[in-house]
Amino acid sequence: MKKSIYLLLSAVFLLSACKKNQSEFDPCGRSQIEQLSIDVMDNFTTLPSKVSVFFRVETVQGAPVAGLTPADFTVYEKGRNDDCEREISSFEANSVISSHQQLFYYNTILVLDLSASVTATSLFELKDAARRFIDEIMPANGDPAYFMGIWWFDGEDVLHELIAPTTNKENLKQAVSNITSDVSNDPSTDLYGAVIKSTEVAEAWLNEANQSEISSAVSVVIFTDGTDQAGRYLKGDALTAVSNADKNIRYFTIGLGEEIDPGVLNSIGKNGTVTATNQSELEETFRQVGQLIWAEANSYYLFEYCSPKRNGSGINDLRIEAQFDGKVGSATTKFDATGFTGGCQ
């Protein structure tokens, strides 16, 4: 009898504890099962009452989510008189997705293996594929928020710059067209050195943008038709450079032929790897990576809306929720409504 009472009391205690924990975790009854991740990079306000939030959307597995519209977002605010957050109606919010040119730069670093095995057998196909890649991801109008630079490597202890980062896609394509079969002076392949040096280029780009108080992200795309032959750097050091890189640096690899090491390329291209068995497949593999990069670059949003809060309401909580393909995710931040009045458009 005592044992039965003890078990009953234990069950009641556990049920109460679970309810308490659930209440503390989600006091307003909002679902916590989220399959999208929103990373808020910046937020600011503009009088009379506009709130701007700059963020990135991806799945919890890390895949970028591009192409969202204002209709895919819901705004919730929680002011000093609110026990729980309140959804802002679309009539009040007047929300838009705005240009983020003054807030954000996206840079693509294309790194080409121009060792002897490529220049002797695959250069024509590589140049066609690289030009297609440029067309795939660079805006036709020279959008000032999107840059690309091209480097190449062979067996030398140098990452050669073919063309510095630019927004001009025609200049990029011309630089690729100008590559000749005698470009290299060392027929070997310094793949690991190229990985380490391209990471340094990407980090320098991020630092320069940050000093200008501009958010930025970089995609490093490395093409090779083989394995590291030069032995100048350790494989472990190259993989460590990738794994320890800033979270805003993404890595993709493109492999050609039977001499590549798929395991190494997968480890370097942690955000995407594609392979071509022969030269005729190169254009398609570059196109596939181009689509991945396009999605990466377009998963950043500047969402702006008119807040109904007014001067005197002080600091308010803000939650922005995204919905995509049956998945939901959200992020929270705060904004100061000091000086807010009507008239926001």
- pLDDT band of residue 3 (cuts 50, 70, 90) is very low
- pLDDT band of residue 204 (cuts 50, 70, 90) is very high
Give 41-86 pLDDT, tens digit per residue: 999 999 999 999 999 999 999 999 999 999 999 999 999 999 889 9
Q: How far apart are CA 109 and CA 75, in angstroms?
A: 35
The one-character DSSP state at 279 is G
Per-residue pLDDT at 29: 63
- Percent of the chain exceeding pLDDT 90 equals 82
Per-residue pLDDT at 242: 98
Contact between 162 and 175 (Cβ < 8 Å)? yes
Peptide bond into 139 cis (omega under 30): no
Per-residue pLDDT at 28: 73
Contact between 255 and 146 (Cβ < 8 Å)? no
Per-residue pLDDT at 99: 81
**For the range 267-276, what are the long-range contacts, defined as Cβ-Cβ under 8 Å and sequence gap of 24 or more?**
267/239, 267/242, 268/195, 268/222, 268/238, 268/239, 268/242, 269/222, 270/242, 270/243, 271/62, 271/219, 271/296
Q: How far apart are CA 102 and CA 143, in angstroms?
A: 11
Give 213-222 pLDDT, tens digit per residue: 899 999 999 9
Per-residue pLDDT at 98: 87
Which residue is listed with tokens 């931040």?
Answer: 333
Per-residue pLDDT at 172: 97
Give 143-173 pLDDT, tens digit per residue: 889 999 999 999 999 999 999 999 999 999 9
Give 293-308 pLDDT, tens digit per residue: 999 999 999 999 999 9
For residue 34, give both structure tokens. Answer: 């989220």
Describe the chain by its helix, strand, coil percentages, rounded to 5: 35, 30, 35
Write down all domains in the chain, each with its CATH number in brackets.
30-88+307-336 (2.60.40), 104-297 (3.40.50.410)
For residue 248, give both structure tokens. Answer: 């805003």
Per-residue pLDDT at 90: 81
Whether 26 has a pLDDT exceeding 50, the answer reads no
Per-residue pLDDT at 31: 59
What is the tally of helices (H) and strands (E) in the chain? 9, 14
Which residue is listed with tokens 């503009």?
Answer: 46
Whether 181 has a pLDDT exceeding 80, the answer reads yes
- pLDDT band of residue 13 (cuts 50, 70, 90) is very low
Per-residue pLDDT at 24: 37
Which residue is listed with tokens 């070997």?
Answer: 188
Q: How far apart are CA 154 and CA 131, in angstroms?
A: 20
pTM, two decimals, is 0.86
